[in-house]
Amino acid sequence: MAVSTIILAAGKGTRMKSPTPKILHKIAGQHLIDFSVNLAKDIKSKEIIVVVSDEIEQGAKTALSGGQVKFCSQKSQLGTGDAVKIALKGFKIKSKYTLVLYADTPFIKNNTIKKMISKAEKGFEFIFLGFQAQTKNSYGKFKLGPKKTLIDIIEKNEPEHDTFESLSNSGILLAKSNILAELTEKIRNDNAKKEYYLTDVVKMATKYGYASTYVQCQEDECLGVNSQQELSVAEKKFQDHLRKKLMAHGVSLLSPETCFFSHDTVIKAGCVIEPNVIFGTGVTVQSFTIIRSYSYIEGTQIGKHCQIGPFARLRPGTNLSEKVKVGNFVEVKNASLASESKASHLSYIGDAKIGTNTNIGAGTIFCNYDGKNKHLTVVGDNVFVGSNASLIAPLKISDGSIVAAGSAINSDVPPESLAIARPMQQNKIGFGKKIMLKLQKLTDKIKK
């Protein structure tokens, strides 16, 4: 069935109390708006139009650059009916059906939309999505006729609202496009809020002999984000979903509620994630890797059988092959470590390419920044970098070399060499004893 999708996103989002437009807030690292856009793509929408206000148009376009999404601007927010009317005019392709989604309702399932589509296939012109609300609320209410038909939707500010119990309106609508276009033209704003209510199409449909019905889903599927508090509830719910999904796919989470994932986190079966680990966006972890507590990982690819942390920080552009070890208080950025290499303690590895079976000693710093530009350090295979070395980029340390502990290395090291760059040690025989005696005398004098 040919469906095009309208996503309503022009509302002011004032209750968010934030200078960031509501739809650009994130859940698990993904913009709110992307949840509806992805749903629209999943159901293979022919066209997707997002209705935005002038204020947020630029921000939304930047966030959603690329892909098949078009934007349409609603100059003033006169109501959901007005927004849909404007969007319908923006479609190039005339799909038989139009789906209306809300940008602030992120968890609607693909399957639910499919149920709505099958009602449309049975001949209904309008299918709304409703749910049984557990508490009293301000949603529109379904007024039902015989055989699950919908004869009206009563909005919060209408007198009838509190006089009966019924399903609540999620706002999500699937409608026959030409009839939706015809009826949205007729919507008036003669109501308490002086708004053009999209929900008015139901009573008009009844009047003009079109059939409306509904599909029911769980309340939490319709969870809306209107405030920071609701955003945190949505985040929590989505995190729970991500944790369960990972565990169902064979990942061990020792304390799931203390770990946080991104919408795109990929972790393969057989991995173990200890408590208090955070995954930013763009992370993939291959099987049998262990991530120890308090590690923070983003934009990173990790191979099989690696050991990360505790307290590791892996920043964007990190690429670890198999059996790599990155230990405590090690920060890695834009750097690759080939198989079996190790940086076990207290290092900064920035802008580097490190070969296989190489050891980066405790306290090694890759000095990648000269105050103006970043430079690359290449370290070969089977290299041993001693503790507390400073590797000053641009630099190449070739295969099989050793860098002496405490060295500041700023010129290339040929293969299988020892690079040592620190003042020569002198042993002054007997000086230790002499100094000790002198110090003791001084101490005795002060005591007297």
Residues labelled as active-site residues: 345
Which residue of the chain is nearest ligand UD1 when measured via CB?
140
* 206 is a site residue for ligand UD1 (CB under 6 A): no
Q: 110: helix, coil or strand?
A: helix
Nearest to ligand UD1 of 121, 160 (CB atom): 160
Q: In this chain, which of 34, 57, 152, 155 binds ligand UD1, going by CB under 6 A?
A: 155
Which one of 107-115, 165-173, 299-307, 406-414 is the stretch in contact with ligand UD1 (CB under 6 A)?
A: 165-173
Helix 80-90 and helix 177-184: axis angle, to 10°? 130
Which one of 30-38, 72-80, 404-412, 425-433 is the stretch in contact with ligand UD1 (CB under 6 A)?
A: 72-80
**Do the beta carbons of residue 246 and residue 291 sit within 8 Å?**
no
* 74 is a site residue for ligand UD1 (CB under 6 A): yes
Q: In this chain, which of 45, 98, 169, 289 binds ligand UD1, going by CB under 6 A?
A: 169
* Least distance between ligand UD1 and beta carbon 63 (Å): 16
Q: Helices then strands (H, E): number in the chain?
A: 8, 35
* 8 is a site residue for ligand UD1 (CB under 6 A): yes
* Least distance between ligand UD1 and beta carbon 221 (Å): 12
Kindly report the backbone phi and psi dihedral angles of residue 139, in degrees, each rounded to the nearest multiple of 5, phi listed first. Answer: -70, 160
* 180 is a site residue for ligand UD1 (CB under 6 A): no
Q: 70 exposed, middle or buried (CB, 10 Å; 0-12, 13-18, 19+)?
A: middle
Nearest-angstrom CA–CA distance, 244 and 254: 12
Q: In this chain, which of 21, 106, 171, 256 binds ligand UD1, going by CB under 6 A?
A: 171
Strand partners, 419: 403
Give the helix/strand (H/E) hosting 220: none
Nearest to ligand UD1 of 10, 360 (CB atom): 10
Q: In this chain, which of 45, 98, 177, 199 binds ligand UD1, going by CB under 6 A?
A: 199
* 142 is a site residue for ligand UD1 (CB under 6 A): no
Nearest-angstrom CA–CA distance, 395 and 409: 8
Number of residues that bind ligand UD1 (CB under 6 A): 27
Nearest-angstrom CA–CA distance, 331 and 167: 53
Which one of 114-122, 196-204, 409-417, 430-438 is the stretch in contact with ligand UD1 (CB under 6 A)?
A: 196-204
CB-based contacts of 319, cutoff 8 Å, min separation 6: 300, 301, 335, 336, 337
CB-based contacts of 25, cutoff 8 Å, min separation 6: 16, 18, 31, 32, 225, 231
* 144 is a site residue for ligand UD1 (CB under 6 A): no
Q: In this chain, which of 34, 57, 82, 351 binds ligand UD1, going by CB under 6 A?
A: 82
Q: In this chain, which of 91, 97, 107, 197 binds ligand UD1, going by CB under 6 A?
A: 197
Q: Work out the widest C-alpha separation in the chain, in whole angstroms.
A: 111
Within 89-118, the residues that bind ligand UD1 by CB under 6 A are: 102-104
Kindly report the backbone phi and psi dihedral angles of residue 265, in degrees, each rounded to the nearest multiple of 5, phi listed first. Answer: -65, 130
**Quick one: how far is CA 437 from the chain centroid?**
65
Q: 281 exposed, middle or buried (CB, 10 Å; 0-12, 13-18, 19+)?
A: middle
- Beta strand pairing call for 377-379 and 359-360: unpaired
* 80 is a site residue for ligand UD1 (CB under 6 A): yes
Nearest to ligand UD1 of 12, 249 (CB atom): 12
* Least distance between ligand UD1 and beta carbon 28 (Å): 20
Nearest-angstrom CA–CA distance, 285 and 271: 8
DSSP 8-class letter at 37: H
Binding mask 228-267 for ligand UD1 (x = CB under 6 A): ----------------------------------------
* Least distance between ligand UD1 and beta carbon 3 (Å): 19
Nearest to ligand UD1 of 133, 378 (CB atom): 133
Q: In this chain, which of 35, 139, 261, 366 binds ligand UD1, going by CB under 6 A?
A: 139
* Residue 239 one-letter amino acid: Q
DSSP 8-class letter at 411: S
Binding mask 261-300 for ligand UD1 (x = CB under 6 A): ----------------------------------------
- Enumerate binding residues for ligand UD1 (CB under 6 A): 8-11, 51, 74, 77-80, 82-83, 102-104, 139-140, 153, 155, 168-171, 197-199, 224
